[in-house]
Amino acid sequence: MPAQYTALGLYLDGEWIGSRDRDCVDVTNPATSAVIGQLPLATPDDVDRALASAQQGFEAWRTVSAWDRGAVLKRTAELLRERADAIARVITLEEGKTLPEARGEILRTADTFEWSGEEARHRCGRLLPSGAPGVRQLVVEEPVGPVAAFGPWNFPVLSPARKLAELLAAGCSCVIKPAEETPGSFLEVVRACLDAGVTERAVNVVFGDPPVVAEHLIASPIIRKVSFTGSIPVGREIAALAGRHLKPVSLELGGHAPVIVFDDVDVVPVAIAAARAKFRNAGQICVVPSRFFVHRKVHDRFVEAFTKTAFALRVGDGLDEATEMGPLANARRVVAMAALVEDAATAVGATVQTSDRDVPQGGSFWRPTVVLTQSDDVCVMREEPFGPIAPITPFSDLREVLTRANALGYGLAGYAFARSFETRRAVADRLAVGMLAINSFEISTPESPFGGVKDSGHGTEGGIEGLAAYLVPKYVNER
């Protein structure tokens, strides 16, 4: 095993558990396809132990004062910043993104812990005016209880850590199942939490056969809340399970973010920024700019600057300093990209253009690709590519483009570029998304709510709303 990867295991009942007597799966580096680690999978007994531990951890952690919980989370943030370079290598090895992108993910995770630590101290209940003499009416916010959380592989640290930071800030405990494809980097976050002083049984981490583990966890009466980030089909399964067991659930699912570029902007800088944003993490981001609607008057200039920027990107191993775009995170994404390109290549009115720069052999690489299309009836306009394929299409007016942008089931992020106040206002009012960036590609900060509408999920992470998802109001009438 390469020395720079990390020790893999389960963490439950305050104990690290290695591969002895357990089935294991390979963890591979998507840049080389080399096996870099063996991940032990939880037995049913392990999952039961993790659940019992989460119950114990909850009883202990909920009694820690909000000030002390906040201090521990802020200490976790400091440790993550100190360890950012080492953890970034682990992310790049298992997920493929470039080292600067991986470092950025850790630093954003640290910011999230810091925000959650501060927010722990800001939450407060209410004292209601009483309707009768001698009556005191309180609303107190209580932690919901042990949480079952499921993280994705594309942001293997930030996504599960956002859940962890918020639920810990609220006084909850958890059993977390990060993605089996990218397990090591999140374990580093767990180590930072424990080193900072999180009560050991408040955090439990298991890996396994995802549907089996999900069913086991969600069915347990110990679990009081479910949080999932991942694909829409799996989100439906999780929501069905949560419904069957009457558990509240937060779902952050896929997106296919429209980017609407109007004709009153300086189009070349917008196109360059759009290409840079689109190919971050090889396009595998749920809020990535994804469907490009460009006003006819500026369409050709946009396409020229976008493709020039995209096709100049150096694609390679994320560990290589010269690399600007890493591989796809797994071979499944390569198969998905091939299907989308094949569909576009045979669709009427669509053309496919691809970078001709060399890419390394042996890994899950895909060259930056642009699909120019006159119609939305091509797969890559309807289905989230979750990869480095960018469909670009012209539009003629505001009403038409809003109808087209809102036509899909997705409703996570959206972007618009316009100078006209009326245009910006119309987009802000009528684009059906949970997050909207206007004249910017900045869509997510620790203090802002993160979540979608329609098939992109429900419930929110981030911001004051994120912590609220792990709290329940309790009304107390006292005479």
Residue of 105, 119, 188, 252 marked active site = 252
Residue 350 binding ligand NAD, by CB under 6 A:
no
Full 3-state SS string of the chain: CCCCCCCCCEEECCEEECCCCCCEEEEECCCCCCEEEEEECCCHHHHHHHHHHHHHHHHHHCCCCHHHHHHHHHHHHHHHHHCHHHHHHHHHHHHCCCHHHHHHHHHHHHHHHHHHHHHHHHCCCEEECCCCCCCEEEEEEEECCCEEEECCCCCCCHHHHHHHHHHHHHCCCEEEECCCCCCHHHHHHHHHHHHHCCCHHHEEECCCCHHHHHHHHHHCCCCCEEEEECCHHHHHHHHHHHHHCCCCEEEECCCCEEEEECCCCCHHHHHHHHHHHHCHHHHCCCCCEEEEEEEHHHHHHHHHHHHHHHHCCCECCCCCCCCCECCCCCHHHHHHHHHHHHHHHHCCCEEEEECCCCCCCCCCCCCCEEEEECCCCCHHHHCCCCCCEEEEEEECCHHHHHHHHCCCCCCCEEEEECCCHHHHHHHHHHCCCCEEEECCCCCCCCCCCECCCHHHEECCECHHHHHHCCEEEEEEEEC
Query: Does 342 qualify as catalytic in the annotation?
Result: no
Choose the binding region for ligand NAD from 6-14, 132-140, 249-257, 461-469 (rule: CB under 6 A).
249-257
- Smallest distance, Å, CB 308 to ligand NAD? 27
- Smallest distance, Å, CB 117 to ligand NAD? 24
Choose the binding region for ligand NAD from 227-235, 302-310, 356-364, 469-477 (rule: CB under 6 A).
227-235
Residue 239 binding ligand NAD, by CB under 6 A:
no
Among 136, 236, 297, 332, binds ligand NAD (CB under 6 A): 332
- Smallest distance, Å, CB 176 to ligand NAD? 11
Residue 233 binding ligand NAD, by CB under 6 A:
yes
Choose the binding region for ligand NAD from 127-135, 179-187, 350-358, 359-367 (rule: CB under 6 A).
179-187
Choose the binding region for ligand NAD from 44-52, 88-96, 208-216, 425-433 (rule: CB under 6 A).
208-216
Query: Does 252 qualify as catalytic in the annotation?
Result: yes
Name the residue nearer to ligand NAD (CB basis): 11 or 153.
153
Residue 204 binding ligand NAD, by CB under 6 A:
no
Residue 253 binding ligand NAD, by CB under 6 A:
yes
Name the residue nearer to ligand NAD (CB basis): 143 or 388.
388
Residue of 286, 324, 379, 384 marked active site = 286
Among 252, 317, 324, 461, binds ligand NAD (CB under 6 A): 252
Among 32, 154, 250, 423, binds ligand NAD (CB under 6 A): 154
Residue 218 binding ligand NAD, by CB under 6 A:
no
Q: What are the residues binding ligand NAD (CB under 6 A)?
A: 150, 152-154, 179-181, 210-211, 214, 229-231, 233-234, 237-238, 252-254, 286, 332, 384, 386
